[in-house]
Amino acid sequence: MTPTLKETAPGRFRLDGDLTFATVASLWRRSRRRFADLSGRVVIDLAGVRQADSAALALLVEWLRLSRERDLQLTFTHLPEPLRPMVHAYDLDAVLPAHG
């Protein structure tokens, strides 16, 4: 399923779909344009992510890098279960702000 990133309120987004090697590149291109218009605090809810692999983790890290470049405070909620062991294995627990 192609992922969609929908703004549910100012600075709040919900991500739905699959975050895999097959889908992440197109989402990255689309999301970069969205980040250009944001300011302040940004929350991305990952509860709608059905599948996730290491490409998903790379995307989250890139979003985090991009948010720091643009002086945004980025937080993820509902980190998909398949990503939790990877976050821990790559020692990203402190770097990847995730709640819920």
How far is the CA of 83 from the CAs of 21, 55, 58, 74, 77, in angstroms? Answer: 14, 10, 10, 17, 12
Q: 100 falls in which pLDDT band (50, 70, 90)? A: low
pLDDT in tens, 7-63: 999 999 999 999 999 999 999 998 988 888 888 999 999 999 999 999 999 999 999
- How much is the pTM? 0.90
CB 73 within 8 Å of CB 67: yes
Helix spans in 1-100 (H):
24-36, 54-69, 83-89
Domains of the chain: 4-99 (3.30.750.24)
Q: How many CB atoms lie within 10 A of CB 9?
A: 8
